[in-house]
Chain A
């Protein structure tokens, strides 16, 4: 391992390379300090200047995202973002990746990913009320995929289940592009009083810096710098020691103790020890507050003996927090933590010299200007260029694709395919109910969670179609935002704001950097149009193995609000005789569709086009209609197209059939399985048809009565006749069968 030099001794250039720093970055360090750094200082630079902590390749681009709006209480830059949800309450949320660790050790990697994002939320003073996950794996028949899926799902479940926060939704996708780099993105939302949000700005010279929670061990050293900020190669498995181990029980105690302490006025600033542990938490708090900090490393509670300052500074042991308290509050803080059987130890003080001092055994092992590690960290404008191969990939001649002979069979094949079959096997492993406010459980367009003690509710979703992003990274990112918003609207919620998790390959490659820029532009344009600012997020680069990058995957987590929880909608049909209406227009768009991929093995073409104005009109229409209670169900038409959407409305809930008539005017497969955007399937009582049609005319939303809820089969003209009960069993068990077979 790297830490071989004696504590406090200067190191030379070769040590910098071992730490993943470039020769230019080494020169910059020498210039900033006017001397060579000590080993400990070098370790601190390596983590603080790592891609994971510094956002050095993404920072200039992230500035383009819209981050403000009347609803925004806290934008990017803190532990999490926050929006106003009325009644004096704030919703605090963020999505974060734990991709690299989860590939190396799926159970602990995923579990600690959930643990980390939970801490980000309660650090802000919010009680976490829901978790969602966005998971991406390689082809289901890749030998490692079942192991990874089972480990990650069990890991996500383990942490959420044991800490008592419900996992209420999420997504799961398979694509050979993730064979060597899985994606595990976890989202958490919490609720806090609007005027009691806690931030991570150290202030007040002489104020104590207090360490709370689990003891520091040797786990996770260089998780942020060497694991998360580099590509994988054949030696990836050897990085297993850099994966942390989670203890949700300790985190539950930490959560309760922190929230209890936050009822008082003892805390000045608080930050969780996540990536780069003690180093980044202390430096970031000092940096935001424009202060200095002195740490006494001898006081840090340790799990094992013989740990050296380098390890203490860089450990990523989980379930730890750092807080700055008011001078004189030490005993009061300790009393709260003692009640929860947790340690709270004063390990330092806030200073006014702008320096980061770390002392150990009478030696000052670090003396660094805080700004050198935070605002003066490197910023790169990396070259970006479209891949030469992309144009060929976009070229696709639909006329060479044979139309299916048996459309019912084609539909069943899609319903059993890994990306469209039911996710019950996953969600059964998650406690969806603890907290007692889950109104719409996983499996609908979005989850709905009631706000305790109010009539309001939050709607939550995570979305991204990475095939779209691979074929057009700009349009794909836009479609991810739009679909997320449409999913919220489908359950009756008004979209409020976004947290994004931008998963890409190696930023040092111009084609990846181009994908990233395009993705940012797509998110920007869609978020501006929909009025949903980005309030928090995370960038995960280096999702690459042996030079092969993942498909660009900008996961969009979106939060919406229902003013009256009773107006929520679910996708499935409710009663025989209800009318079924398609909102929006179907075009002949098969490019990038699930149908082409599953039935023809083709992943080419241009993703469906999006008219953001039409999309906004659809949202307005649906929200008015749901508020006036004119709808019985609503479901977004997404992957798999109209036929799959209709089938989902039949297969979920009570399991009712439908009689549908479609006007042909295009190829049958495009009609059934094309993925044109800005479409929604709704059902309604017959007597509401007139009012709804008027509303559609007023909002200029295309409105087509397709048929009615009837019988025990889904019948679409003479194209499809699908018995619901038999199809439901196959749809429900397909995932489990595929992973076990």
Chain B
């Protein structure tokens, strides 16, 4: 399959996402420049971590109006896969492609750690290779990862099983001590109603090798591979819209 990784000015984990998909997974992966509109026929577009445009205004506020986001929106509308990691998650929320928002960590400090997240649903292209309830150890590193949404939105994404990952302790329990940033309901990742757009704060692309952070991130990236394999990756003519729950 073919991955695209957007390079915004201030993207930082773009090279890591390219390495994970290209070198570790052995797929084709291309950088996508923020000033372009064309996604060059990729199957899954990754919005990587970083501080796009410096994030001096509000995380993702500038990136959402960059030219490449027109391409991302069209890709998402056509059912193509979009994976927003960390800053990418923030951008997708800002752009309205995902519900809710990410605000400053409760601690007011940047936090870098390895956390445990529980896969809440395997009914997405990003988790179809996982078991619901499966625990993954993934790195986080962010200053603004506290997920918030109004009550109605939260109830909606809960009922539609669109909360894809939650922070848990090592035993898989959703407890306040396991919440690294104060996110509502320990939310670590959510998807859109079409289930083809996922945003998450943890970094799967940083957990793809035993030597450097473990391999649990591969569970997510390989799910995408699997899904694309089943849905005719590379045949961009007829984008498949994934059905809701």
Contacts and interface: CB of A to CB of B under 8 A. Distances in A.
A385 to B, nearest CB: 47
A450 B110 contact: no
A249 B111 contact: no
B9 A249 contact: yes
Contacts of A158: 110
A428 B12 CA distance: 18
A433 B112 contact: yes
B109 A247 contact: no
B123 to A, nearest CB: 30
Nearest to B50: A164
Interface string A245-259: 001111011000000
Contact of B10 (A157, A249, A427): A249
Interface in B138-155: 139, 141, 143
Interface string B18-40: 01100000000000000000000
Nearest to A162: B51
Contact of B19 (A340, A428, A436, A438): A436
B15 interface: yes
Contacts of A252: 9-10, 12, 51
B54 interface: yes
Interface in B114-132: none
Given A249-B53, A433-B141, A434-B13, A428 B113 contact: yes
Nearest to B211: A439
A589 to B, nearest CB: 38
Contacts of B9: 249, 252-253, 340-341
A432 interface: yes
Max chain B C-beta neighbours (<10 A), residue from A427, A431, A436: A436
B111 A450 contact: no
A166 to B, nearest CB: 9
Given A154-B109, A429-B110, A437 B212 contact: yes
B16 interface: yes
A433 B51 contact: no
Interface string B200-229: 000101100101110000000000000000
Interface in A543-588: 565-566
A677 interface: no
Contacts of B55: 249
Given A249-B53, A249-B56, A431 B141 contact: yes
A438 B112 CA distance: 13
Contact of B212 (A250, A430, A431, A450): A450
A248 to B, nearest CB: 8
Contacts of A433: 112, 139, 141, 203, 206, 212-213
B205 to A, nearest CB: 8
Contact of B51 (A249, A432, A438, A450): A249
Contacts, number: 85
Nearest to A438: B212
B206 A428 contact: no
Interface string B37-51: 000000000000111
Contacts of A164: 12-13, 50
A271 interface: no
Contact of A161 (B15, B143, B206): B143
Interface string A426-453: 0111111111111100000000001000
A433 B86 CA distance: 14
A435 B10 CA distance: 14
Contacts of B15: 435-436
Given A162-B51, A341-B9, A436 B206 contact: yes
A528 to B, nearest CB: 35
Contacts of A163: 12
Size category of the B interface is 20 to 34
Contacts of B13: 164, 434
A582 B209 CA distance: 33
Nearest to A566: B211
Query: Which secondary structure characterizes the binding site on chain A?
Result: mixed
A432 B112 contact: yes
Interface string A417-431: 000000000011111
Max chain A C-beta neighbours (<10 A), residue from B10, B19, B49, B209: B10
Contacts of A250: 54
B141 A434 contact: yes
Contacts of B12: 162-164, 252, 434
Nearest to B113: A428
Given A428-B112, A431-B110, A431-B141, A436 B54 contact: no
A51 B12 CA distance: 37
Contacts of A154: 109-110
A154 B105 CA distance: 14
Contacts of A157: 110
Nearest to A341: B9
Contacts of A434: 12-13, 16, 49, 141, 206
A429 B9 CA distance: 23
Interface in A22-50: none
A450 B112 contact: no
A438 B113 CA distance: 13
Nearest to B213: A433
Contacts of B110: 154, 157-158, 161, 428-431
B54 A431 contact: no
B47 to A, nearest CB: 15
A252 B8 CA distance: 11
A250 B109 CA distance: 22
B112 A430 contact: yes
A247 B211 CA distance: 33
Contacts of B143: 161
Contact of A431 (B109, B112, B209): B112
A711 B110 CA distance: 36
Nearest to B10: A249
A157 B107 CA distance: 15
Contacts of B111: 428-429
B139 A247 contact: no
Contact of A435 (B16, B112, B139): B16
A250 B211 CA distance: 32
A430 B142 CA distance: 9
Interface of B: 9-10, 12-13, 15-16, 19-20, 49-51, 53-56, 109-113, 139, 141, 143, 203, 205-206, 209, 211-213
19 contacts: A154-B110, A161-B143, A162-B10, A249-B55, A249-B56, A250-B54, A252-B51, A253-B10, A428-B112, A428-B113, A432-B141, A433-B112, A433-B206, A433-B213, A436-B15, A436-B19, A438-B212, A439-B211, A439-B212
Closest 7 CB pairs of A and B: A249-B54, A164-B12, A436-B16, A431-B141, A162-B51, A429-B110, A433-B206
Interface of A: 154, 157-158, 161-164, 247-250, 252-253, 340-341, 427-439, 450, 565-566
Given A429-B111, A432-B141, A450-B212, 5 more contacts: A427-B112, A430-B110, A435-B15, A436-B205, A437-B212
